Amino acid sequence: MSQPTPSFMPYKAPAGGWGSVRSLLRHGLGEGARTAEGARQLQRQNKVDGFACVSCSWAKPAEPHPFEFCENGAKATLWELDKRRVDAGFFERHTVSELLTWADHDLEAQGRLVEPMRYDASSDRYVGISWEEAFAIAGRVLRDMAPERAVFYASGRASLETSYMYALLARLYGNNNLPDSSNMCHESTSVGLPRSIGVPVGTVLLEDFDHCDCILSFGQNVGVNSPRMLHPLQEAARRGADIFTFNPLYERGWERFTNPQEPLAMATGTSTRISNAYFPVRAGGDIALLQGLARALLDLDDAARARGDARVLDVEFIESHTNGFDAFEAWLRAADWQRIETESGLSRDDIESVAAVYAQAKSTILIYGMGLTQHRHGVDNVRMLCNLALMRGNIGRPGAGICPVRGHSNVQGQRTVGISEKPELVPLDRLSEQYGFEPPREKGLDTVGTVEGILDGSVEAFIGLGGNFSRAAPDTARLEPAWRGLALSLQVATHLNRNHLLCARETLLLPCLGRIEEDVQATGAQHVSIEDSTTCIHGSLGISPPVADTLRSEPAIVAALAQAILPPERAALVPWEQWVGDYAQVRGAIEATYPDQFRDFNARLHTPGGFPRPVAARERRWETESGKAEFHVPEVLCATGFEDRAGRYRLITVRSNDQFNTTVYGYRDRFRGIEGTRRVVLMHEDDIAALGLDEGEHITLVADFDDDPEVREVGGLRPIPYRIPRGCIAAYYPECNPLIPVSHHAVDSHVPAGKSVPVRIRRGAGAPIPPGPAPE
Ligand SMILES: Nc1nc2c(c(=O)[nH]1)N[C@H]1C(S)=C(S)[C@@H](COP(=O)(O)OP(=O)(O)OC[C@H]3O[C@@H](n4cnc5c(=O)[nH]c(N)nc54)[C@H](O)[C@@H]3O)O[C@H]1N2
Ligand SMILES: Nc1nc2c(c(=O)[nH]1)N[C@H]1C(S)=C(S)[C@@H](COP(=O)(O)OP(=O)(O)OC[C@H]3O[C@@H](n4cnc5c(=O)[nH]c(N)nc54)[C@H](O)[C@@H]3O)O[C@H]1N2
Ligand SMILES: [Mo]
């Protein structure tokens, strides 16, 4: 369980290159993954006859590279193929109390869960039970419960088939309590985009990258979180497209990239620069930045008009396709450059220089990630981005559009097929007709509602289809003890995590097949499907032998759960067993519920590059109330939702290059030059000096909310000098989640505001971050 000695060295190499190959070898060899098997499987990743990567949701090209995977996708594959097992014997050796002292990495690194387990309070251990017993227990607890007291969470990895069945199960059970990891992620997109452009998803297809001449990126870490996207970016950069990045941290992927697929570049050590220029906007400064860009564009348009030159604004588009431009223009004309500079942390010159390029560009793609969505005013961030696109008609034509980069490999697809707490987004009437029942019409609980419900006792049962909810959600220190008051905690999972150790009155842990594994049912090997970030649907076939023959597939588990917890006459409305025997029938049912989205689903399942779902905004049809795309005037210029004051910092919680969300593969955040520890705070050197902190000194972060009665602290951290704007600091998620109260979330979308948390810095180690070994 020991961690390597920490070291901190600026990383000079580009993203990709030999560093990624070395990092991979280390993972393949170091973790007991079957390397020959691993190598065989990696070649089938993201191919028509193979499986869709379980890591990120980036698009998969129709003509894949020989190795269509990246360092982090390969890590995720090897992690899933780990041959070590967490079985009843493991739990005989370790009590739950002991495991609660382990770090996230150490829990998951024990290997795959292989047996159904139930927590036994008298011995403080998980003990093996049969699948039948497990479902019978779930049935006993859930049949007697008021339906609104149970929650059905999904983490974003499960296939379209499983997700459709799961959402149907919740509605047959009697609620819309279907929170999804999306609630902590791109929900600001799902709320903001429909208001602005009438669709909840991005409008860009992979081929648009071949036609754009400008790319603007905001708050997304491509080299770590969607590395395969570096291929189209590299090609765009080589064609001479202008690329500008706005991010408080210098993320290597947006700076330089060496494509490991190019032998010459690897041999000579040459790399492609990705961004022409990089602008360290303050955390929460994007509304002001985007106002500056929009205002500068307006000024350029005024000048062009005065000269009698071609207009900079796409006047025709604005007139025929949009609403609300006059109010937006008035707001821009009233803008105060001094405030824009203060709030964004960027100079007027810099902002105007980008606007000048944007004004000339024919087709621009606007990319963004968690840096925009996870703020108090995350929805305004997203809508400001739309405003900038609309001013030049950069939606609904080749090479242009909005490109939110989603997280989990099927998180977008889960929403598409009904996993949503918002009944208005689901065709309930059609479900009612198709299955002959009256679906619940009340709004369900999202992530924030679920946390609140667990805290106040109104939620009594939590069913988790993957994920690590208590670790990913905010307010960890309050949520963990409250979890123990639940009547049932039932988790379907591949690896042991801390959420599984929070034991309720009944606690069940059900191990499932991963997507890479063969899934053989009555009619033979089953295909599943997922939707990528660009709304393309891909088939996926697991090809690796399952790590244990005791595992069940996710559809089989959901079907058995349905039969156990629903009254028999309700369960009988759905042919669960036939569906489990033949997933093509589930796809048929999905097509019946969503005929426009999934036309000829089974026939098109293995379309190279996936088949795109129709997206109205892509065709310049606007499914908003007004029938037009809407310009939006935000109410605030600063997205954080709190005031600046002396001693208060804006904490950004980020991922390292060695984790997938709460799955910590290791302690090497290569691009940031941080090795051997995650207990760090990245700070501007002048902030470190101003506080008089010494190298190696320990500090504690203390949440600094007004009117918050709770004391929230995370200690045992070390300050590291880093290129980051003054007043902003960064540290790792999920370790810092105890600092975030559940109430600190985005307006309207409820995404926890993990990218701007107000904190103070106190000298001294304080209480070390629970859990894990003592700080070095
Ligand atoms: N290897 C790997 N891949 C992943 C994941 C993983 O953990 N590991 N997670 C998956 C998931 S679920 C998701 S949602 C995505 C997440 O992928 P990203 O959207 O890239 O999310 P983060 O890593 O949280 O970081 C977002 C970036 O926003 C920047 N940022 C922070 N605050 C601001 C701000 O106010 N303004 C601007 N302009 N930038 C800001 C940060 O410096 C950081 O570079 O990746 C997915 N892919
Ligand atoms: N402070 C802060 N908090 C954040 C974020 C942040 O940037 N900052 N990011 C947020 C975001 S974007 C997200 S998406 C959430 C992530 O929240 P979650 O999706 O809940 O968390 P993960 O870490 O992805 O879940 C990992 C677990 O999923 C299980 N698992 C893996 N593969 C499978 C599978 O195929 N099937 C099943 N059934 N289980 C599987 C494993 O047991 C593993 O332990 O966290 C959010 N929380
Ligand atoms: Mo996410």
Which ligand has the minimum distance to the alpha carbon of residue 722?
1
Which ligand has the minimum distance to the alpha carbon of residue 180?
2
Centroid of ligand 2 to alpha carbon of 473 (angstroms):
10
Residue with CA at minimum distance from ligand 1 atom 46? 407
Residue with CA at minimum distance from ligand 2 atom 45? 472
Signed CA dihedral, 151, 156, 158, 159: sign only: positive
Pick the CATH number of 649-763 from 1.10.8.50, 1.20.1260.10, 2.40.40.20, 3.40.50.300: 2.40.40.20
Centroid of ligand 2 to alpha carbon of 718 (angstroms):
26
Give yes or no for a contact between 374 and 639, defined as CB atoms under 8 angstroms apart: no
Residue with CA at minimum distance from ligand 2 atom 37? 466
CA dihedral 456, 460, 463, 464 (to 10 degrees): 20
| pLDDT score of 734 | 97
Distances, alpha carbon 392 to alpha carbons 317, 610, 631, in Å: 8, 29, 12
| pLDDT score of 632 | 98
Signed CA dihedral, 405, 406, 407, 409: sign only: negative
Centroid of ligand 2 to alpha carbon of 763 (angstroms):
32
Choosing from 220, 384, 733 the residue with most ligand 1 atoms within 8 A of its CB, the one to mutate for a pocket test is 220
Measured between its terminal Cα atoms, the distance across the chain in Å is: 13
Residue with CA at minimum distance from ligand 2 atom 27? 467
Domain extents in the chain: 85-185+410-618, 187-404, 649-763
Helices and strands (DSSP H and E) totals, the chain? 31, 34
Superfamily of domain 187-404: Dimethylsulfoxide Reductase, domain 2 (3.40.228.10)
Centroid of ligand 2 to alpha carbon of 550 (angstroms):
24
CATH 3.30.70.3280 fits 85-185+410-618, yes or no: no
- Written as one string, the DSSP assignment of 642-688 is S---TT-EEEEEE--TTEETTEE--SEEGGGTEES-S-EEEE-HHHH
Segment-wise mean pLDDT, segments of 10 residues, the chain, 776 residues: 66 76 62 62 78 90 80 88 94 97 96 98 98 98 97 97 98 98 98 98 97 98 94 95 97 85 76 90 98 98 98 98 98 98 98 98 98 98 98 98 96 97 97 98 98 98 98 96 98 98 98 97 97 96 95 98 98 98 98 98 95 97 98 97 97 96 95 94 97 93 95 95 97 97 98 98 83 47
Which ligand has the minimum distance to the alpha carbon of residue 157?
2
Centroid of ligand 3 to alpha carbon of 594 (angstroms):
25
As a whole number of angstroms, the distance between CA 298 and CA 332 comes to: 8
Choosing from 56, 104, 411 the residue with most ligand 1 atoms within 8 A of its CB, the one to mutate for a pocket test is 56
Residue with CA at minimum distance from ligand 2 atom 47? 472
Nearest-atom number in ligand 1 for the CA of 657 is: 1
Centroid of ligand 2 to alpha carbon of 717 (angstroms):
24
Which ligand has the minimum distance to the alpha carbon of residue 662?
2
Choosing from 181, 509, 745 the residue with most ligand 2 atoms within 8 A of its CB, the one to mutate for a pocket test is 181
Centroid of ligand 3 to alpha carbon of 615 (angstroms):
22
| pLDDT score of 695 | 81
Centroid of ligand 2 to alpha carbon of 418 (angstroms):
19
Tell me the Ramachandran region of residue 443: left when phi exceeds 0, alpha when psi lies from -120 to 50, beta otherwise: beta
Which residues have CB under 6 Å of ligand 2?
Answer: 108, 155-158, 181, 184-185, 370, 374, 407-408, 465-469, 472, 492-495, 497, 512, 514-515, 554, 653, 661-663, 733-734, 736-737, 740, 754
Choosing from 75, 218, 244, 247 the residue with most ligand 1 atoms within 8 A of its CB, the one to mutate for a pocket test is 247
Choosing from 225, 230, 381, 757 the residue with most ligand 1 atoms within 8 A of its CB, the one to mutate for a pocket test is 225
Which residues have CB under 6 Å of ligand 1?
Answer: 55-56, 72, 185, 218-221, 224-226, 246-249, 251, 281, 283-284, 286, 369-371, 405, 407-408, 652, 654-655, 659-661, 755
Nearest-atom number in ligand 1 for the CA of 156 is: 12
Residue with CA at minimum distance from ligand 1 atom 39? 219
| DSSP character at residue 407 | S
As a whole number of angstroms, the distance between CA 138 and CA 267 comes to: 57
- Please state the separation of Cα 245 from the chain's center in Å: 20
Q: Which residues pair with 69 in a beta bridge?
A: none
Residue type, 586: V
Centroid of ligand 3 to alpha carbon of 532 (angstroms):
13
